[in-house]
Amino acid sequence: MSTSPTPEQNDAALQTDDIAALRSEAANRRRALRVAEAERDALRARVDASDAREVERLLADRLEVPADAWLDPEFTLDAMRTRDGQIDLDLAEQAVAQLEGRHPHWVKKAEPEPPRPAHPDVHQGARQSAPEPPSFASALKGQR
């Protein structure tokens, strides 16, 4: 009897090697996918942070504390984005108007004008020099 493998055994060995190679390739692709997803998530977080700063800059004129806007669950960046992911100023304006309606106590109050004085200041305007007080010499000259 010969100890050489039969053709069926050769085919099984080749299939086992092919399966192992495919599994290894699939594992490598899964790892690469996880790395790419992590990079995507990190970049998305950076874009979100940049967009949030831009929206807060727009809110600075209208809210006492612009960061309070993110406390409202209905105020989201996604509601202000276009299909391509850019912040649309018109959508942002609508979202801010809705936010002001839901939270009027967050709205910045108009700065009051300083009170005007009831009467004019008597120390305003040009001043005349005070007359010189009489001196001893002028008093003696007047006696002659």
Q: Where are the domains of the chain?
A: 12-109
Residue 49 one-letter amino acid: A
Of the candidates 92, 63, 90, the one whose C-alpha atom is nearest the C-alpha of residue 75 is 92
Residue 3's pLDDT band (cuts 50, 70, 90): low
Residues 108 and 61: beta-carbon distance below 8 Å: yes
What CA–CA distance (Å, rounded) separates 131 from 124? 20
pLDDT digits (tens, 9 = 90+) for 75-92: 999 999 999 989 999 999
pLDDT digits (tens, 9 = 90+) for 22-62: 999 999 999 999 999 999 999 999 999 999 999 999 899 88
Residues 51 and 92: beta-carbon distance below 8 Å: no
Q: Give the pLDDT score at 121.
A: 64
Q: Is the pTM of this model over 0.85?
A: no
Residues 47 and 77: beta-carbon distance below 8 Å: no
